[in-house]
Amino acid sequence: MNRKSQICTLSIWAGELPAVRSGNCPTRLRLTRAFSRVRNIQFLRNHRQDPLFEKFTEERIIWRELLELELQDVDEEMERIIEAAGTGSDS
């Protein structure tokens, strides 16, 4: 998102989330809900012709999801490290 631009344009594909394929995956469900909320905000913003309408809310949603995905990635990396350390000590 460019802070200098007054209108945010999403480049998120609205179809299947490529990184998460499972239909019951909590991450997929959470991202789908967040994307839907951001899309609705954009629709209202366009309808009102107000580029700043709900801008703070939109940014908060996006940053929350990005941080959550980063934390999830760290957790998965830690699990891989622990798993690798556990299999290495058995040899």
Whole-number pLDDT of residue 90: 53
Q: Please give the Cα distance from 56 to 63 (Å, whole number).
A: 10
The DSSP code for 42 is H
23/27 Cα distance (integer angstroms): 10
Q: Flag the least confident range among 1-5, 21-25, 34-38, 53-57.
A: 1-5
Question: What does the pLDDT read at residue 89?
Answer: 54
